[in-house]
Amino acid sequence: MRYITFCLMLTLCIFKSSGQSISISNDGAPANPSSMLDVRSTSKGLLTPRMTLSQRNMIASPATGLMIYQTDNTPGFYHFNGTIWTLVSSVNNWSM
């Protein structure tokens, strides 16, 4: 019982001490202090969730700013602006 308690306390201390920022990188670089998540790579990209229009519309109470890649109808990146899903960019129309 003491062993289980010790392991639980150790785990909680580790999570508490590393709760500031997370870095995912090839070189072990620390996360930028202003970020919650810092992803770095010179050879790979970020893959967002991919789903159909009907799957997207089945997301219950999407958070404002949620982003997905829609694979059918008008494929592209969509974000939820708090009211509706908005096309950020389509496959044929990258905008800055």
Query: Are 39 and 56 in contact, with CB atoms under 8 Å apart?
Result: no
Task: Please give the Cα distance from 90 to 70 (Å, whole number).
Answer: 9
Q: pLDDT > 90: what percent of the chain?
A: 58
Which tens digit of pLDDT belongs to each residue from 74-87?
Answer: 999 999 999 999 99
The pLDDT tens digits for 41-64 are 999 999 999 999 999 999 999 999
Q: Is the pLDDT of residue 7 over 90?
A: no
Q: Is the pTM of this model over 0.75?
A: no
Average per-residue pLDDT in the chain? 84
